[in-house]
Structure 1
Amino acid sequence: MSAPGGGGTVQGVVRRLIVFVLLFALVTIAAIGVSGLLDRALESGRGLAGDDPTGLAVSLAFTLIGGPLAALLWWAAWRRLAEPAERGSVAWGIYLAGMTTVSLVVATSALATTLVDLVDADWNPGAFTIALTWAAVWIWHRRMLRHPAKAPTRLPTVPLVLGAAYGLIVGARGAILALAELFDAALRTGLQTVIVGEPWGLDVVGHLIWAALGIAVWWWHWAGDGVRRIPTAFAGVEVVVVGVLGGAVAALSGLAIVLFVGLRLVFDPADGAASILGSLDSALASAAVGALVWRLHARVARRSSEAIARAAVLVVSGVGLVAAASGIGVIVNAALAAFTDPLATSGTRELLLGGISALLVGGPTWWATWRPTRRVPDAAAAGVGRRVYLVAVFGVSAIVAIVAVLVVGFRLFEFLLDAGTGSALIDRIRAPFGLLVATALVFAYHFAVWRGDRAALAASGAAAPQRRIGRIVLVAAGDTEEIRRALAAATGSSVTVWARQPVDGDRPIEPEALVAALEGVSGRRVMLLVGPGERVEALQLVE
């Protein structure tokens, strides 16, 4: 039967959804009102009403009406969280994740704005009060997230992972901008270029403030909250997508631009060194910071599960492949442009050098990560990650190639219906034709690799592992990392860990015993209960 009050019914789900959506809105309204009143109180030389009585009325309404309503609704919801159905609801976990993340973003952004304005000798009470108010909201929700009896049992680590990702992005961006300012000043000094405007050091300090705040937020979650050790799939996505993929894109794109600038200085110096070096500062900063982020998260990925380690390598391979394919397409484009202007204008040379730069950076990266000459073991060829990667690459390549063919055909028919010269036709189709050549090569190679993997597996008698279980929910006490790895390796399923309170009688259980308990069990979601004592029980969950 359902819990009293509809806790386990559809009505209960809808009620919780409405309650937490309203609570999110009311907390936001109350925070806006409080920050508005604090702003008026801190701003010197201005009465409470000032010259904006409408604004004061809004702040008072938001604070004195929205605040008590938010407190009342929170009190009612908080009381019910002692019930398992309430504490285990998705709505509660989503609310805490959303409000914790939003308050963190608003508080840190406002604090950074306040500090940057102070560097410029400008006191900004509005930004400071926003930072103060939303920091209090963040601390309040962090305490609820850590509550021993009422913290959410579903999605409990999502706000921690989101906080780490946000801090990393803000910190990396601030570091890139600060380094870019330093490199720009050094280049201008070297070229003896006069710097007009405000002292460049103020911009560096401003960007360093953002970088410091971002890094502090990231480290708080990464090390303090243990995000780097969280075994969930969502944490793995943060490591692979934000850390490895984001860092690789920043590093390789920056390196490609640095190479492009160097090639232009050698082969196309007509525009002058000052003009050519204009983008070098940002490229150097992006390459340096991106490489650091990439290296750090790649090491974390290698120490994580085998699936995350493989995914980290594959996404870097994909970045290198895109860069190399883009370079090939641009080179073909520039080569065809030579037929329209045999004297190779500066624009054509610049296009050609850009393609060469992308190919020289992307090609070796793809080769080093994909290793096309290495024989792939049957286990790796049968892995889900490799097969998904291959299908995704040649599938996307096929779509892009089809679009390029349509554009080439359109340009061809347009030319036939509108009299022109032969060079005009080449000039019309060279861009889509270059894209067609690059994507056709990518499609042909990866489709051949996919067919080869299937043939090799068929010849060896190996087969891709069959996943009888979609996701395993492991309920256990103590250190579960070894157990989680063993279950993921044996079943090929994703494993989510729900930590339970240790009790007397808990004993270490060998991973082999847990794998054996799953024999004959199948389903989209299976819960594996471990302990107390030597108890091991597998339960298929109803969707």
Structure 2
Amino acid sequence: MRRIIVYTILFVLVCLTAAGLADLIGRAIDVFSDDLLVGSATTGLAGSLTFALIGGPLAVLLGWFAWRRLADPSERSSLAYALYLVGMTTVALIVAGSAVFTAIAGAVTGERVTTEAATGLVWAAVWVGHRLVLHRGSRPPSRLPGTAAVLGGLFGLVIGVGGAITALSSLFDAALGGPPVVAVGAPWWSGAVQALVWALGGASIWWWHWRYDGASQARTPLAAVALVGIGILGGCLLTLTGTGTALFVVLRLVVDRSDAMPDVLDPLGAAVAAALVGGVVWLHHRAVVAARSAAVQEASTLVTSGIALIAAATGLGVIVNALLAALATPLVGSSPHTLLLGGISALLVGAPVWWFSWRPAARLGVGQRASSGRGVYLVVVFGISAIVALVTILVIGFRLFDILLAADSGLVDRIRAPLGLLVATGLVSSYHFALWRGDRAAAAAAADPDPVAAVAAGNPPAIGELVLIMGPGAEPVVRHLHELTGAQVTLWQREGAATALPDPAEVVQALGGVQAARVVLIVGADGGLSVIPLAAAENTTGLPG
């Protein structure tokens, strides 16, 4: 509790001090531009003076108190200390980067950027100071390794991608439909240049953290989640969305000319920009995933399959909706052609990506079919699809009874949208449910006899004693190994942070067929497994027995 209170108060004091100093520096700069330092409003200046002149010394005093106690190794291993440094480094980077990029982008059009420049300067100093403690100081934290680098890289990636898409979209819009709308007196390219500032700045932050700050070498669960959740999922989503929208515009240009040309071409610039930038992000992170563990590679495949499946199922539902719309009496000014082209675009983009990522025609081994990640994916997909299908059935039933009771016409037009959704979700749910049942049956057929039952029946286990070497948090693994092998399990706990729990299916596969009086199972920091059977002649010293 002492650590939590001290570092929480220190975090707040540093933030208040930085805010006060930034405002004071901005006001001091404004003096040289003939502005009043105080003006008619004194409240803001009084608050800044309070934060800087009172909060600053308090922050220094509390920081000195905390720094003295960090000579104790147990203090440096505190989670509160690690969270403070990671949190303050990340917050300072976000505030400083946003302020600096805003100031540079505003300077392009001659805007006043005094406040942004002062904020960026102060928070950059905060970031440098805490980063030196985190990486170069004599008392770095022993917890959360690489977390600040991963979070900083994510911030740079997100703003860099956003800026690149905006800049390319502005250029493409100008090339397709003329100069974009900008502020009066500003050149037409000012918006693209401002977005380019954010793109280059974000790319620089990401590159620094990825290449020089250790983000590319991080193997923590957070690094895996960021790699798959942002790099793979975000890149895939941008690529498929942009490609589908661009294909929709092309199909409309070829087939459907019901709207004016500028209206048809309006989404093309942003779509092409999203597809290009998302494709670069996706391909880069796919190459990174190829060098990671099997669990990360499987997660990447499942995420890609899920996004592509959503696109393909959406396209199928929209196509059914459009075909039913052709049978109904169209509303004034509406046409099913545009709706049909939208569904075809989504299906043509999503279906091939799903096919090549999921590989439905490939023959999978028992270990792959018994993977927990695949099992969770199948359950989530068919479960959500089944829920959506049930809700859609209720919607169709309500509209059907409503039309019958009111003696209205237009039944097909009222139910075509939910019916298209029902067809798509029904197919998705039934397919993935069948796969889930098949995987369970295959795993049960290939499973060895129950080791616990074999021990109860008097049959000796294949492994006499199992020595587990793992970090903190190994209790669930010990229980699982005892139930799996029936052998005595001895835990040797390594020092350091908690180890990622291994996949139970990978444990079964790693120990399958192993027979020895004594076996050593080593669980790496990322959950990777190493199995070492020991010969009986060497089983004399070094292990408890």
TM-score (norm 1): 0.82
Residue deviations 1:388-432 (CA, integer Å, cap 9, x gap): 1111111111222222222222323333343311x1x32222222
* One-letter code aligned to 1:174: G
* One-letter code aligned to 1:154: R
Question: Structure 1's 164 and 431: CA in aligned 2 closer, same or farther, altered over 3 A?
Answer: same
Question: Structure 1's 375 and 462: CA in aligned 2 closer, same or farther, altered over 3 A?
Answer: farther
Question: Structure 1's 347 and 20: CA in aligned 2 closer, same or farther, altered over 3 A?
Answer: farther
Question: Aligned residue for 1:430?
Answer: 416
Question: Aligned residue for 1:228?
Answer: 216
Question: Structure 1's 490 and 433: CA in aligned 2 closer, same or farther, altered over 3 A?
Answer: closer
User: What secondary structure is seen at the aligned counterpart in 2 of 1:163?
Assistant: helix
Question: Aligned residue for 1:129?
Answer: 118
Question: Aligned residue for 2:148?
Answer: 159
Question: Structure 1's 451 and 132: CA in aligned 2 closer, same or farther, altered over 3 A?
Answer: same
Question: Aligned residue for 2:325?
Answer: 337
Match of 2:401 among 384, 391, 413: 413
Question: Aligned residue for 2:36?
Answer: 47
User: What secondary structure is seen at the aligned counterpart in 2 of 1:316?
Assistant: helix
1:263 paired with 2:251, answer: yes
1:468 paired with 2:468, answer: no
Residue deviations 1:267-300 (CA, integer Å, cap 9, x gap): 2112122110000000000000000000000000
Match of 2:374 among 375, 382, 386: 386
Question: Structure 1's 89 and 187: CA in aligned 2 closer, same or farther, altered over 3 A?
Answer: same
Residue deviations 1:483-526 (CA, integer Å, cap 9, x gap): x99x9699948xxxxxxxxxxxxxxxxxxxxx95448x9xxx99
Question: Structure 1's 19 and 283: CA in aligned 2 closer, same or farther, altered over 3 A?
Answer: same
Q: Shift in Å at residue 93 of structure 1?
A: 1.7
* One-letter code aligned to 1:400: V
Contact 1:518/1:538, CA 8 A, preserved across alignment: no
**More displaced stretch, 427-436 vs 354-363:** 427-436
Match of 2:56 among 60, 67, 89: 67
Q: Shift in Å at residue 116 of structure 1?
A: 0.9
CA distance in 2, matches of 1:346, 1:51: 59
Q: Shift in Å at residue 51 of structure 1?
A: 3.0
CA distance in 1, matches of 2:448, 2:272: 47
Question: Aligned residue for 1:26?
Answer: 13
**More displaced stretch, 314-323 vs 45-54:** 45-54
Q: Shift in Å at residue 230 of structure 1?
A: 1.0
Question: Aligned residue for 2:194?
Answer: 206
CA distance in 1, matches of 2:233, 2:2: 39
Residue deviations 1:417-468 (CA, integer Å, cap 9, x gap): 43311x1x32222222221211111110011111111222223336999982
User: What secondary structure is seen at the aligned counterpart in 2 of 1:373?
Assistant: coil
1:177-192 alignment to 2 at 5 Å?
Answer: 177-188=166-177
CA distance in 2, matches of 1:464, 1:397: 34
**More displaced stretch, 302-311 vs 84-93:** 84-93
User: What secondary structure is seen at the aligned counterpart in 1 of 2:266?
Assistant: helix
Note the residue ranges of structure 1 that are not aligned, 5 or more in a row. Answer: 1-13, 477-483, 494-514, 529-535
Q: Shift in Å at residue 365 of structure 1?
A: 0.6
Match of 2:298 among 305, 310, 315: 310
Residue deviations 1:325-360 (CA, integer Å, cap 9, x gap): 111111112222222226996442211111111011
Question: Structure 1's 472 and 65: CA in aligned 2 closer, same or farther, altered over 3 A?
Answer: farther
Q: Shift in Å at residue 384 of structure 1?
A: 1.9
User: What secondary structure is seen at the aligned counterpart in 2 of 1:236?
Assistant: helix
1:107 paired with 2:107, answer: no
**More displaced stretch, 290-299 vs 93-102:** 93-102
Residue deviations 1:106-127 (CA, integer Å, cap 9, x gap): 1011001110111112331100
May I ask how many residue pairs the two structures share in their alignment?
480
Match of 1:252 among 215, 233, 240: 240
* One-letter code aligned to 1:409: G
User: What secondary structure is seen at the aligned counterpart in 1 of 2:301?
Assistant: helix
User: What secondary structure is seen at the aligned counterpart in 1 of 2:35?
Assistant: coil
Residue deviations 1:347-392 (CA, integer Å, cap 9, x gap): 4221111111101100111001111111111121112221111111
Contact 2:79/2:143, CA 8 A, preserved across alignment: yes
1:327 paired with 2:336, answer: no
Contact 1:82/1:149, CA 8 A, preserved across alignment: no
Contact 1:188/1:195, CA 8 A, preserved across alignment: no
**More displaced stretch, 17-26 vs 297-306:** 17-26
CA distance in 2, matches of 1:199, 1:462: 73
Question: Aligned residue for 1:452?
Answer: 438
1:356 paired with 2:356, answer: no
CA distance in 2, matches of 1:229, 1:464: 40
Match of 2:281 among 280, 283, 293: 293
Question: Aligned residue for 1:443?
Answer: 429
CA distance in 2, matches of 1:426, 1:393: 29
Q: Shift in Å at residue 224 of structure 1?
A: 0.7
Contact 1:383/1:464, CA 8 A, preserved across alignment: no
1:73-112 alignment to 2 at 5 Å?
Answer: 73-112=62-101
CA distance in 1, matches of 2:101, 2:314: 38
Contact 1:323/1:361, CA 8 A, preserved across alignment: yes
* One-letter code aligned to 1:17: I
CA distance in 2, matches of 1:209, 1:381: 47
CA distance in 1, matches of 2:229, 2:155: 13
CA distance in 2, matches of 1:406, 1:306: 42
Question: Aligned residue for 2:533?
Answer: none
Question: Structure 1's 378 and 184: CA in aligned 2 closer, same or farther, altered over 3 A?
Answer: same
Give the percent of matched residue pairs that are identical in Structure 1 and Structure 2. 49
User: What secondary structure is seen at the aligned counterpart in 2 of 1:453?
Assistant: helix
